[in-house]
Amino acid sequence: MGSGVRRARRTLIAEGKMTEQSMQFDYIVVGAGSAGCVLANRLSRDPNNRVCLVEGGGSDRTPRIHVPAGTITLYKSERYAYQFMSEPQTHLNNRRIHVPRGRMLGGSSSMNSMIYIRGDRSDYDTWAAMGCPGWSYDDLLPFFKEAEDNRLGQSPDFHGRGGELAVDKPRDPNPASRRFVEAAKEIGIAENSDFNGAKLEGVGIYNLTQKDAKRLSSYRAFVHPVLSRANLTVMTDARVERLDIVGGAVTGVTLTKDGKSLTLRAARETVLAAGALGSPEILLKSGIGDGAELRAVGMDVRHHLPGVGKNLQDHLDGLVTVRSHDSSTLGFSAGSMPRVLASPLKYLAKKAGWLTTNYVEAGGFARTKYAGDVPDVQFHFVPGYRSHRGRLFEWGHGYAIHTCVLRPESRGSVFPKRTNGQAELGIDFRFIDKEQDARVLVEGMRLARRILGASPFAGIRGAEIAPGPKRMSDEALMDYVRSDASTVFHPSGTCRMGNDEGAVVTPDLKVRGLANLRIADASIMPTLISGNTNAPSIMIGQKCAAMMLAG
């Protein structure tokens, strides 16, 4: 079949116009997010490999995605995000936690805060020590460097140039972000100019995955530039209903697109890269998981694999937010309105101004009294008033620090359930099931308060709205955690990698007990990394592709 015919065929498939019910590829990648886009790129480099990238969401063609400041509008969007809600959290006053995940090309890398963090060396060395050879920091650093196009002149010992993923500084950070760094230094937390270098600990202005003042999602970095490859098919708005299994081997997927059922066949392998919620959900819908759990909700058991959905981890977050009368911070007021109205023109003309912000311009990593040799909390500083009521925008000004627990001890799960007869995914983080997580968070918020009380904030000082001056004791802060703590949107661990009976995938990312199926996304993490999960997920996609191509 000529390349022109293949291109036409690929376009017809993507538009849902083909009538045949079975399409053949060498590799099927499910999920066009952080890891899946890298896999599609690397596997399709060889023109002899027919690759299909399947995405349940739609296009990313909207300024809300590409203009950095648009990220705040995506989290509650039905069009661009799956609006998951957790089960009532027993230790958080039975609150349900909102868990949005990307529903478009690029997945959650098209709606995150664009922060480029790899985590601590010890995270990966711990994976290797847990029975995952080939996953130590030294093993993985080449994959991080290969993908990176570092625009900051940082050390080549840790950084790459010429990769697809541009890493740069914020274009026009708010002055309050620099105040945060100076304030943290005043209380004894050192400045760190490279969180992805020799050490993680410290504070600074975050590096971002942006290019030319626009978001650089995994899709825009790895897939969009190679769409002309005749051997690469990208299918959007395609919901995978199940993995097809014949004789203990996965042969492909059955999906729904435009109301029609379509079966795709993979001659070599199928890879799930649908994320820490999506990948276990597809396994469970396919009858792969804990047999007792599946039978309890009336689902067939195709392969008993009890670890599916277990080991759920996430970064628990506590907010300290301050009201200020200073209109130099991000916000809406009479004083800021001229800048707000001028921001579109400033963005278009100079690639500067409010629209370049990712809202979390600065932050860092620190140790509480409970920490060992590595940080146990992370700060995300917002140079604007962060609503304590859950609103996207509040009238007025201020600033805030989000503090999260880097290495949670609590473990939750995702599991099959039925609501009104419909199969659904249950999500139970079991946040602060281990009370030590709450203790670490309380101490982290105390550090955040000390930073906000330091002299660099004197010129814009305001009143603390949350937790508020009435919540000073450990007991009061514990109550605040239970009533207000939430997630930083880093779910992981639900298809854990390892060599024991509870693992879902082996260190080569093959699903235990099934042929021709791998998983490559944050779900395979044995333990949650110390930081934002986009860069590690991209690395996981790269390593998976390398193992697949090596045979």
**What type of residue sits at position 254?**
T
Joined tokens for residue 429: 């983080």
Tokens of 528: 């949650």
Cα–Cα dist 423/92, whole Å: 26
Contact 204, 184 (CB under 8 A): no
pLDDT band for position 335 (cuts 50, 70, 90): confident
Q: Which of 110, 2, 16 is nearest to 54 (CA)?
A: 16
pLDDT of res. 7: 43
Residue type, 339: R
Cα distance from N-terminal residue to C-terminal residue, the chain: 26
- Candidates 103, 82, 50; CA nearest to 270 is 50
At 263-287, the pLDDT tens digits run: 999 999 999 999 999 999 999 999 9
142, 162, 355, 414 from 145: Cα distances, Å = 5, 9, 29, 33
User: Measured between alpha carbons, how far is 41 from 46 in angstroms, rounded to an integer?
Assistant: 10
- How far apart (Å, rounded) are the C-alpha atoms in residues 95 and 36? 32
By C-alpha distance, which of 526, 492, 382 is closest to 35? 492
Positions marked active-site: 490
What pLDDT is recorded for position 5? 33
Query: So what's the pLDDT on residue 337?
Result: 85
Q: Which residue has the higher pLDDT, 19 or 141?
A: 141
Task: At 124, list the tokens.
Answer: 């990966």
Please say if the pLDDT value at position 15 is more than 90: no
As a whole-number percent, the residues of the chain with pLDDT over 70 amount to: 95
Q: How confident is the model at residue 12 (pLDDT cuts 50, 70, 90)?
A: very low
Average pLDDT of every residue of the chain: 94
Rounded-to-integer distance, Cα 179 and Cα 39, Å: 40
For the segment 465-493, the average pLDDT, to the nearest whole number, is 96
Quote the pLDDT of residue 395.
76
Which pTM value belongs to this model? 0.95
Q: How many C-beta atoms surround the C-beta of residue 100 within 10 A?
A: 20
Query: What's the rounded Cα separation, in Å, for the pair 551 and 537?
Result: 22
Task: Respond yes or no on whether the N-terminal peptide bond of residue 170 is cis (omega within 30° of 0).
Answer: no
pLDDT for residue 10 is more than 90: no
Domains of the chain, start order = 3-61+218-313+493-550 (3.50.50.60), 171-205+316-405+432-484 (3.30.410.40)
Q: What is the pLDDT of residue 6?
A: 42
Q: Is 240 annotated as a binding residue?
A: yes
Q: What per-residue confidence (pLDDT) applies to 365?
A: 98
For 22, the enclosing helix (H) or strand (E) is: strand 22-30
